[in-house]
Amino acid sequence: MVPNPFSWLLRAIGVALARAGLLSEQRARRTSELAWPRIVTGVARMSKSAADVAMVGVVLGSSAIAGVGYAGPFWGAAFSLGGGLAAGTIALVSQRFGAEAYGELGQAIRSSAALVVAVTVPVAVLFYLFPVELIGLLTDDPQAVTYGSDYLRVLSFGVPLAGLNLIGSRALIGADDAYTAMLLRAGGAVVNVGLNAVFIFALGMGVVGAALGTVVSNVVVVAAFAVGMTRGRLPVVGAFPLTVSPFGSYWNRAECRDIVEIGLPVVGRNSVWTAARFPLLAFVAMFGSPVAAAYVVTRRVFGIMNAPGWGFGLAASSLVGQELGKDDESTAESYGREIVRFSVATYVLAAALVAVFARDIVVLFVESPTEPSVPIAVDMVYAAAAAVIPQGVNAAAAGALDATGDTRWPFYGRVVGMFAGAIPLVYLGATTDLGLLGIYLSFFAESIVPGAVSYYRFTTGKWKAISRGYRPDAAADD
């Protein structure tokens, strides 16, 4: 592997925590090896999302920023569905990989791919046929509706592709190879940004160009996963940890049942955020365009700060799952607890860095630093930087639970945090003297509540019994 700042920094944090007696150095090393490539992927993909907003904002202004932001929850539906089913993929793959049941990997991956296509194609058709009506649910600003619907219509073609990319990525991470998944998905994000620059600036395609760049880059990444997994290697990238025949069965009752049982609560958990974004954006729109634009910018920055959760959550899923595949529940529990500590320490550093450079980051998204949305966004970024830290608990604890098949409680925590906390706070801010403080507090509600619920559930240890129903010997009994 090529040395890089992410790998070096994570190892340094892990060593410091180990010397403080908070982690096992060996487990810290394995965690950092799996987490840093996924964090790079997260930063790249969140930066790509931020680049969409920044590029259209520089060319077309605040209405375009808001329009792309209003399309965001719909695009998030693809990741809610794909990411949920992919939780089933990583649970099954990691446990089989840990048990060295390599012959069972292909069926789990093929079944996952078939399920994700089946559930995402209807969503893509809906986005293509009714983009104006969908964006119109969130705002009555005609310019924002036009920009958002143009963006969503083109983006609809990428919905099934995004789901397949998540299946491919989770399968590799479950097989202890986050590095190859990073190369493909982060590379796709880089391609996406490059295409956006050509389509938006050189060809003058505006929001349509931003959406087209996303679709084309997803085609490239899906093709790379498909070729790499069927051939066992890719030029430049190298060998894959597993090989999957495309000609085997795509429907296996037991495998599909397990994927859906594990994945459905995760789909629900992911969908909570996707569904919550609709009323959130509608209530934020009540503050006016400058606040709406500032909120969209802040959400992009929040997403980048939350990138460590991608790494630690999936590292927890893979490492906890592998230990369960070996029937070593004690070590699985140690991994889960220690990865939470590792994650929180990393989040603290990331949040501090963003807070120091908050204004410099915000002005990258606008035509002029004198725009009225800039000071509003800077204050929101400060609030988001503090609120993102509990996400470190939630990401790692929920990732550990995903590996065990105990996926319901993180879903419950997300529901309560969003619908009993964040959304009412934003509404109160828009309709009472609470004002912008309601938005600031909403960031804390959406992070503290799910983190507390997920970590509590992990500490009960009830996931141990649940995981026994999904281990390789259980699958063989079916």
**What DSSP state is assigned to residue 328?**
-
pLDDT of res. 370: 77
Residue 377 Cα distances to 294, 341, 358, 391, 418, angstroms: 4, 30, 9, 21, 21
Q: How many CB atoms lie within 10 A of CB 456?
A: 12
Q: Taking residues 112-120, what's their average pLDDT?
A: 88
CA distance 147 to 416: 32
CA distance 363 to 51: 13
pLDDT of res. 4: 65
User: Letter for the amino acid at 477?
Assistant: D
Is a pLDDT exceeding 60 seen at residue 70?
yes
**400 within some domain:** yes
pLDDT of res. 74: 86
Query: pLDDT by residue (tens digit) across 359-392?
Result: 999 988 776 777 878 899 999 999 999 999 999 9
Q: Taking residues 96-106, what's their average pLDDT?
A: 78
Residue 396 Cα distances to 35, 103, 444, 475, angstroms: 11, 29, 18, 26
**What DSSP state is assigned to residue 126?**
H
Distance between start and end Cα atoms, the chain? 40
Give every CB contact of residue 71 below 8 A, 6+ residues apart in sequence. 131, 135, 148, 149, 151, 152, 155
**What DSSP state is assigned to residue 103?**
G
Phi, psi of 315 (to 5 degrees): -65, -40
Task: Give the domain range for residue 192.
Answer: 5-471
User: Between 168 and 101, whose confidence is greater?
Assistant: 168
**3 state DSSP class of 447:** helix
Residue 385 Cα distances to 275, 290, 352, angstroms: 23, 20, 7
**476 within some domain:** no
User: Between 372 and 6, whose confidence is greater?
Assistant: 372
**What DSSP state is assigned to residue 422?**
I
Instruction: Classify the phi-psi angles of 21: left when phi > 0, otherwise alpha if psi is within -120 to 50, otherwise beta.
Output: left
Residue 1 banded pLDDT, cuts 50, 70, 90:
very low
User: Between 116 and 352, whose confidence is greater?
Assistant: 352
User: Letter for the amino acid at 386?
Assistant: A
Q: What share of the chain is helix, strand, coil (3-state, %, to 5)?
A: 85, 0, 15
Query: pLDDT by residue (tens digit) across 294-352?
Result: 998 899 899 889 989 988 998 898 899 888 888 899 999 999 999 999 999 999 999 99
Q: What percent of the chain has pLDDT over 90?
A: 39
The residues pairing with 234 across neighbouring beta strands, listed in sequence order, are 238
CA distance 134 to 397: 34
Q: Which two tokens stand for residue 416?
A: 């309560």
pLDDT of res. 473: 59
pLDDT of res. 261: 83
Please give the model's pTM, rounded to 2 decimal places.
0.71
pLDDT of res. 477: 47
Average pLDDT, whole number, for the chain? 86
Residue 463 Cα distances to 88, 333, 406, 455, angstroms: 15, 10, 6, 12
Residue 2 banded pLDDT, cuts 50, 70, 90:
very low
Q: Is 24 exposed, middle or buried (CB count within 10 Å of its CB: 0-12, 13-18, 19+)? A: middle
DSSP H or E run through 239: strand 238-239
Count: domains in the chain: 1
Q: Which two tokens stand for residue 99?
A: 């048990």
Q: How many CB atoms lie within 10 A of CB 122?
A: 11
pLDDT of res. 247: 83
User: Which residue in this structure is represented by tokens 């899906």?
Assistant: 222
Is a pLDDT exceeding 80 seen at residue 161?
yes
Q: DSSP for 141-210? A: -HHHHHHHHHHHHHHGGGHHHHHHHHHHHHHHHHTT-HHHHHHHHHHHHHHHHHHHIIIIIIS--HHHHH
Is a pLDDT exceeding 80 seen at residue 444?
yes
Q: Do 304 and 43 form a contact (C-beta atoms < 8 A)?
A: yes
User: Which residue in this structure is represented by tokens 């609120």?
Assistant: 387
Residue 475 banded pLDDT, cuts 50, 70, 90:
very low
Residue 472 banded pLDDT, cuts 50, 70, 90:
low
Instruction: Classify the phi-psi angles of 327: left when phi > 0, otherwise alpha if psi is within -120 to 50, otherwise beta.
Output: left
Q: How many CB atoms lie within 10 A of CB 349?
A: 12
Q: Do 413 and 453 form a contact (C-beta atoms < 8 A)?
A: yes
Q: Do 1 and 140 form a contact (C-beta atoms < 8 A)?
A: no
Of 33-42, 184-193, 275-284, 297-306, which gets the smallest average pLDDT? 33-42
Q: Do 382 and 439 form a contact (C-beta atoms < 8 A)?
A: no
Q: DSSP for 76-99? A: HHHHHHHHHHHHHHHHHHHHHHHT
**478 within some domain:** no
Of 38-52, 310-324, 365-379, 430-444, which gets the smallest average pLDDT? 38-52
Query: pLDDT by residue (tens digit) across 224-264?
Result: 999 998 998 888 888 888 888 888 888 878 788 888 887 77
Q: Taking residues 76-103, what's their average pLDDT?
A: 79
**377 within some domain:** yes
**477 within some domain:** no
pLDDT of res. 133: 92
pLDDT of res. 452: 96
**314 within some domain:** yes
User: Which residue in this structure is represented by tokens 């998944």?
Assistant: 181
> How far is CA 464 from its chain centroid?
26
Is a pLDDT exceeding 70 seen at residue 476?
no
CA distance 356 to 361: 10
pLDDT of res. 321: 85
Q: Which two tokens stand for residue 118?
A: 């089946």
Residue 471 banded pLDDT, cuts 50, 70, 90:
low
Q: Taking residues 90-107, what's their average pLDDT?
A: 79
Residue 78 banded pLDDT, cuts 50, 70, 90:
confident
